[in-house]
Amino acid sequence: MFLPSKIEKVRLILPKIYYDTAITLLGELGFLQIEVLESESKKVLKDFKEIEYDKINRYSQKIRSLESNLIKQKSKNMNIKNLRQVFHETDKIKIYEEVNEIKKEEEKINASIKESNSILEIINLMKDFKHDLKILNGNRVESFIFKKTKEDDQFIEKIKKEIDCEFNELGTVYMVTIEKHNKEKLANLANKGAINLIKIPNITGKIEEITNLQQANIKKEKEKFLTINNKLEKLSKKYYAIVVNLKEYLDIEIKKSSIIPRIGATDYITVIEGWVESKKIPVLEEGLNGLTSDRFILEKIKTTEEPPTKMENPVSFKLYEFFIKFYSIPRSSEIDPTIFFGIAFPIFFGLMVGDAGYGATFLLLSFWVIHRIKHPPKKSHLPRKLSKFVKTIISKNSLVMIMKAIIPGSIIAIALGIIFNEYFGFALPYTSLFNVTKNVSTLLLISGWIGVAMVSFGFVLGAINALYNKKIKKAIGRIGWLLVAWGIVIVGLAVLHKESIGFSNLEAVGSYVAIVIGIALVLRSEGTQSLMEIPSVISHILSYTRLVGILLASVILAQVINLIFVSSLSGSILFIIGGVIILVFGQLFNIVIALFEGGIQGARLIYVEFFSKFFDGNGNLFKPFKIERKNTANVYVKNLKKN
């Protein structure tokens, strides 16, 4: 739980005739991260070659094109036994040309409807024009319209001055007719004046006649579209389920082909190397035994390579893996800090917010954002620019992870807010169990001890990590820093309590001894340059006082906003309105600050002040070769236990 899953490197040797079925089994199990062969293996093996993959790619492109053109239907699982059957079933489908013709006809219809709608949109702006439109365009002249704006007076004056033209005012637009050789000059003037010129189409007839004609054309084209769409619907109902099954099977075969460069072979055997979880080896052997009738060798490879990392945490802490991966992937041989983050972050966030009203707001906000992302509305009411900005800085999945992580912290904030009697900075009519502003020294002491506990625990984990990896020297260094930290803490407490720090105080003497022994251990393991880190140990402990600083800033700001609001109630109506505005916008500002400060500073205290004592990171995630199926059924993995 506190360490990533144990992963070992293995070599699989099996007869070449079982290659394809073995790769399918490995993909269905999803146990093995297939690697390029080690140099020793490459010396005696040649590259694996398979001639059918060019054919697979051709058939895949063919079936993908068909699937994208058909109308989506409910799919049914199809029993596909082998690649030969896929080729046969693909060749049996005789609708490729027919579907392509239907799609071409659809494009023509849509283009025609689009053109008619464009004409209707333009002539709707010209409904006051009573003449035949054929007079507006000809061999020598062209006509344009543009909507009336505040800037159009200057534009019109410039055109009249520089171009021989004719102007007409038609309701909400102006119409300008020019000789064709002046078209470029008119366009340049329009660009300078930020005027959007709309070309009047070269058509014949009066507005009413053209309107009727275009509406009739749209109706006719929609009827044609309905006819061919019904035809496509019938073809889709008959073939879609088959097509998606064939597409998935071919996609899997292409994925299988991607690992060919990593595999070695002779004329008779195939060799595959990769990483697998130790606990999954028996299941892998069971599957291979059933597939090859025990005609395989699965051996462990001794290697100095760092294995990839497979993080293993309880379900309730899984979401916090997102924050660890954001910081750095743990190496497979070091402690996975996910659980520690999952415990500390909500506590830190809740303490820094410390208000039941704000906590409830964050809780509701989290649930709303998660629901909104998982069930998006047909039409978003958020400003498009804001929505686009959010998408550029964070993905939907990342936002969901953050909101889920805030939920337990919000609950802690609500609980602490009840204890502190803080509800958006207001106090309810009961005596608080603990008053924030009256007990600042106590809170600072608590935050200081939290800092001592976190830094000390970090050094302990660092020592355990080093011992686990048989790095005795590094473990001694971590213990040395722990002694230095506690020696400084004891001396600091004596100074705060105005006690003697001379040799008459046994505690002070003990702290000096701890500091001296600690420095000696650090010097032995890390060298003299490591002494430069002593100030950082002190600063890391004191850094946890920001828990109280941010809490106080939030509470006091809320109380000040509320005081201004309450004071305004005794004034005139204008003062009351001003007070309400200050209350609403002030509280919104404080909520945003509490959310970002609580989240960012809570994570920072863990990343910098805690992780730096034991966590190296820079690991690589375990990415096993895996076949994902939605429509086709597994061929080999049915009764095997994966866990």
pLDDT single digits (tens) 224-238: 999 999 999 999 999
Q: Give the architecture (CATH level 2) of 109-215.
A: 2-Layer Sandwich (3.30)
**C-alpha separations of 540 from 190, 238, 358, 575, 576 in Å:** 63, 68, 28, 46, 46
Q: Look at 492 and 588; give whichever has higher pLDDT.
A: 588
Q: Give the residue, 82 or 248, on which the prediction is more confident.
A: 248
426-484: pLDDT as tens digits: 999 999 999 998 999 999 999 999 999 999 999 999 999 999 988 999 999 999 999 99
For residue 487, which of 466, 470, 501 has the smallest C-alpha distance? 501
**Other CB atoms within 10 A of residue 83 CB:** 16
The whole-number pLDDT of residue 520 equals 93
% of the chain surpassing 70 pLDDT: 95
User: Which secondary-structure segment (H or E) carries 272?
Assistant: strand 269-277
Tokens at 198, concatenated: 């709309």
Of the candidates 479, 444, 496, 17, the residue with the CA atom closest to the CA atom of residue 265: 17
Query: pLDDT higher for 641 or 184?
Result: 184
Q: Could you give phi then psi for residue 559, rounded to 5 degrees?
A: -65, -40
As a whole number, mean pLDDT of residues 563-586 equals 91
Q: Rounded to the nearest 5°, which phi and psi values hold at 130?
A: -100, -5
- Residues counted in the chain: 643
pLDDT in tens, 524-549: 888 888 888 888 999 999 999 999 99
Question: Model confidence at 52, in pLDDT bands (50, 70, 90)?
Answer: confident
Q: Which helix H or strand E contains 7, and what residues bound it?
A: strand 7-15
Query: Do 159 and 146 meet the contact criterion of CB atoms below 8 Å apart?
Result: no
- Measured distance CA(543)–CA(537) in Å, rounded: 10
Q: Is residue 41 predicted with pLDDT exceeding 70? A: no
| Annotated domain spans of the chain | 109-215, 315-613
Query: Is the pLDDT assigned to residue 641 strictly greater than 60?
Result: no
Confidence category of residue 385, pLDDT binned at 50, 70, 90: low
Asked whether the predicted pLDDT for residue 73 surpasses 80, the reply is yes
What average pLDDT does the segment 399-424 reach?
94
Which one, of 626, 630, 29, lies nearest residue 291 by Cα?
A: 29
Averaged pLDDT for residues 218-227 = 94
Tokens of 562: 């509320």
User: Between these two residues, 641 and 137, which has the higher pLDDT value?
Assistant: 137
Query: Which pLDDT band, with edges at 50, 70 and 90, does 261 fall under?
Result: confident
Residue 546 CB coordination number (10 Å): 20
Rounded-to-integer distance, Cα 70 and Cα 90, Å = 15
How much is the pLDDT for 164? 84
- Rounded Cα distance between 143 and 124, Å, is 16
34 compared with 128, residue with greater pLDDT: 34
The span from the CA of 8 to the CA of 465, in Å, is 19
User: Nearest CA to 342 among 48, 76, 606, 68?
Assistant: 606
Predicted confidence band of residue 639 (pLDDT cuts 50, 70, 90): low
At residue 136, the 3 state secondary structure works out as: helix
- For residue 556, the one-letter residue type is I
From CA 331, how far away is CA 212, in angstroms rounded? Answer: 72
* Spatial CA neighbour of 633 closest among 93, 64, 28: 28
d(Cα 36, Cα 308) in Å, to the nearest integer?
Answer: 14
Distance CA 556, CA 421 (A): 13
pLDDT, residue 610, reads 94
Q: Which two tokens stand for residue 145?
A: 């319209």
The number of helices, as runs of H, and strands, as runs of E, in the chain is 20, 10
Q: Which residue has the tokens 């032995």?
A: 524
Residue 487, number of CB atoms within 10 A of its CB: 21
**pLDDT number for residue 95:** 92
Quote the mean pLDDT of the chain: 89
Tell me, what's the pLDDT at 643? 44
Q: Which helix (H) or strand (E) holds 299?
A: strand 297-300
Q: Average pLDDT of 275-295?
A: 92
- Whether the pLDDT of residue 26 is over 90: the answer is yes
The residue written with tokens 């093996």 in the block is 45
Tokens in use for 553? 């800033």
Predicted pLDDT at 348: 96
Residue 514 near residue 484 (C-beta atoms within 8 A): yes
Amino acid present at 380: S
Let me know if 641 is exposed, middle or buried by CB neighbors in 10 A (0-12, 13-18, 19+): exposed
**pLDDT digit string, tens, across residues 104-118:** 999 999 999 999 999
Distant-in-sequence, close-in-space partners of 32: CB < 8 Å, separation ≥ 6? 10, 12, 26, 272, 274, 275, 276, 284, 624, 625
Structure tokens belonging to residue 47? 């590259």
Give whole-number Cα distances, 420 to 175, 343, 426, 616, in Å: 71, 22, 11, 39
Of the two residues 2 and 639, the one the predictor is more confident about is: 2
615 in helix, strand or coil? coil
What is the rounded CA–CA span in Å between residue 643 and residue 640? 9
Q: What is the pLDDT confidence band of residue 642, given thresholds at 50, 70 and 90? A: very low
CB 339 within 8 A of CB 313: yes
Tell me if residue 232 falls in helix, strand or coil. helix
The whole-number pLDDT of residue 49 equals: 60
Give the integer Cα–Cα distance in Å for 491 and 488.
5
3-state SS record for 552-612: HHHHHHHHHHHHHHHHHCCCCHHHHHHHHHHHHHHHHHHHHHHHHHHHHHHHHHHHHHHHH
Give mean pLDDT, residues 192-202.
Answer: 87
Q: Work out the average pLDDT over 166-181.
A: 86
Q: Which residues contact 200 (CB under 8 A, 6 or more apart)?
A: 122, 126, 133, 136, 137, 142, 143, 144, 145, 175
